[in-house]
């Protein structure tokens, strides 16, 4: 038995709490196992589930500026674990059977104490030198998010996920307005960039996108050749036959594909309720597409 384990058991007895230091214990077990197997990535899945308790992670989290993409992904993942653990309470017992439907930014906002409502319109504001329709508002101090019904579902979903990113990463101290967002443009402002990145990582988690991709296209990485071009069906084939296909064009075709190898299905973009472009970018990030 390791020294740490002995210490934990002693302390549990002392505190009369069988769960004291649970996070350290699991972390220590994982660390020991990693050393044993000489694999620094061993049990990474378990570490996510057990290494840090989401409630503690929420309470202690220091919000700041300038996150790395890995940090933003970790936050999205931790929030998803917290939502999964509280799914019965958050969905009032009617938990969706499809795990992708659990990636609901409005429910996620509720889970961190925000109220999220939709309004017919949120008015207009001045952005990038012109007046534009407000698509989303986040009010940090009163913990409220409002989404405009003036935009299609995909935009509403991405905008809500963007506000979720602000709530979690930045906790805005004043009211913040956003124009319509769907993951197609990259913002120059660091907070806006981080909220966009968070939205994309929250709505399209690595594990679920890779699993769905493999289920539809029967591979871990799609490479364009005669057989795969044929399997995509006549419409995609016609586009690809024109030649000079770019990676982005192919990614868009895969994001929108509703058939492969004679099987018909719901496209990846609509499964995850995101735009074609947002899914195409994510497929490239995950290195699922190759020309
Ligand atoms: Zn924003």
pLDDT > 70: percent of the chain: 79
- Cα–Cα distance, 277 to 57 (Å, whole number): 32
Q: How far is the CA of 195 from the centre of ligand 1 (A)?
A: 6
Q: How far is the CA of 148 from the centre of ligand 1 (A)?
A: 14
Measured over the CA atoms of residue 98, residue 101, residue 103 and residue 107, the dihedral's sign is: negative
| pLDDT score at 126 | 84
Measured over the CA atoms of residue 192, residue 198, residue 202 and residue 206, the dihedral's sign is: positive
Q: Please check the confidence at residue 266 and state whether its pLDDT lies above 60.
A: yes
Q: How far is the CA of 150 from the centre of ligand 1 (A)?
A: 18
Confidence of residue 45 (pLDDT cuts 50, 70, 90): very low
Confidence of residue 32 (pLDDT cuts 50, 70, 90): low
pTM for this structure?
0.79
Tokens standing for residue 63: 């919000």
- Backbone φ and ψ for 124, nearest 5 degrees, come out as -125, 160
Dihedral, CA atoms, 121, 123, 127, 132, nearest 10 degrees? 60
- Cα–Cα distance, 202 to 283 (Å, whole number): 14
Q: How far is the CA of 138 from the centre of ligand 1 (A)?
A: 8
113-170 per-position pLDDT tens digit: 999 999 999 999 887 788 999 999 999 889 999 999 999 999 999 999 999 999 999 8
Q: Which contiguous run of DSSP H or E holds residue 118? A: strand 115-119
Q: How far is the CA of 178 from the centre of ligand 1 (A)?
A: 5
- Cα–Cα distance, 166 to 14 (Å, whole number): 41
Closest CA to 132 of 141, 123, 119: 123
Tokens standing for residue 287: 């290195």
Q: Please check the confidence at residue 44 and state whether its pLDDT lies above 60.
A: no
Q: How far is the CA of 240 from the centre of ligand 1 (A)?
A: 37
| 65 to 120, 176, 206, 265: CA distances (angstroms) | 32, 16, 24, 41
Tokens standing for residue 240: 């690809």
170-204 per-position pLDDT tens digit: 878 888 899 888 888 777 788 899 999 999 999 99
Q: How far is the CA of 171 from the centre of ligand 1 (A)?
A: 11
Q: How far is the CA of 280 from the centre of ligand 1 (A)?
A: 22
Q: How far is the CA of 288 from the centre of ligand 1 (A)?
A: 29
Confidence of residue 43 (pLDDT cuts 50, 70, 90): very low
Q: How far is the CA of 220 from the centre of ligand 1 (A)?
A: 34
Q: Please check the confidence at residue 68 and state whether its pLDDT lies above 80.
A: yes
| pLDDT score at 59 | 38
Closest CA to 163 of 131, 120, 195: 195
Q: How far is the CA of 206 from the centre of ligand 1 (A)?
A: 23
| pLDDT score at 208 | 94
| 135 to 83, 119, 172, 289: CA distances (angstroms) | 25, 10, 17, 32
- Backbone φ and ψ for 175, nearest 5 degrees, come out as -70, 135
Measured over the CA atoms of residue 158, residue 162, residue 163 and residue 165, the dihedral's sign is: positive
Name the E strands within 141-226: 144-148, 175-178, 222-223
Q: How far is the CA of 276 from the centre of ligand 1 (A)?
A: 21
Q: How far is the CA of 107 from the centre of ligand 1 (A)?
A: 19
Confidence of residue 51 (pLDDT cuts 50, 70, 90): very low
Contact partners, residue 65, CB within 8 Å, separation at least 6:
170, 190, 191, 194
């Amino acid at each position: 038995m390791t020294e740490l384990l002995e210490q934990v058991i002693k302390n549990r007895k002392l505190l009369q709490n069988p769960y004291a230091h649970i996070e350290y214990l699991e972390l220590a077990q994982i660390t020991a196992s990693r050393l044993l197997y000489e694999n620094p990535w061993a049990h990474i899945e378990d570490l996510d589930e057990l290494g840090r308790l989401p409630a503690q992670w929420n309470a202690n989290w220091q919000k700041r500026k300038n996150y790395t993409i890995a940090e933003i992904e970790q936050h999205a993942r931790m929030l998803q674990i917290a939502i999964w653990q509280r799914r019965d309470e958050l969905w009032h017992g009617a938990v969706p059977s499809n795990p992708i439907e659990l990636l609901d930014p409005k429910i996620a906002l509720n889970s961190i104490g925000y109220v999220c409502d939709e309004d017919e319109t949120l008015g207009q504001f001045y952005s990038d030198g012109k007046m534009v329709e407000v698509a989303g508002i986040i009010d940090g101090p009163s913990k409220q998010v409002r989404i405009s019904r003036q935009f299609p579902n995909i935009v509403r979903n991405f905008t809500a996920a963007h506000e979720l990113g602000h709530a979690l990463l930045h906790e805005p101290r004043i009211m913040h307005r956003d124009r319509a967002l769907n993951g197609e443009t990259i913002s120059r402002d660091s907070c806006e960039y981080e909220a966009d990145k968070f939205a994309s990582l929250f709505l399209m988690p690595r594990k679920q996108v890779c699993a769905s991709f493999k289920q539809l296209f029967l591979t871990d990485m799609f490479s364009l050749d005669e057989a795969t071009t044929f399997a995509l069906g006549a419409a995609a084939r016609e586009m690809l036959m024109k030649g000079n296909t770019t990676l982005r064009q192919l990614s868009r075709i895969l994001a929108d594909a509703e058939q492969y190898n004679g099987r018909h299905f719901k496209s990846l973009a609509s499964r995850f309720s995101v735009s074609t472009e947002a899914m195409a970018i994510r497929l490239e990030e995950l290195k699922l597409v190759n020309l």
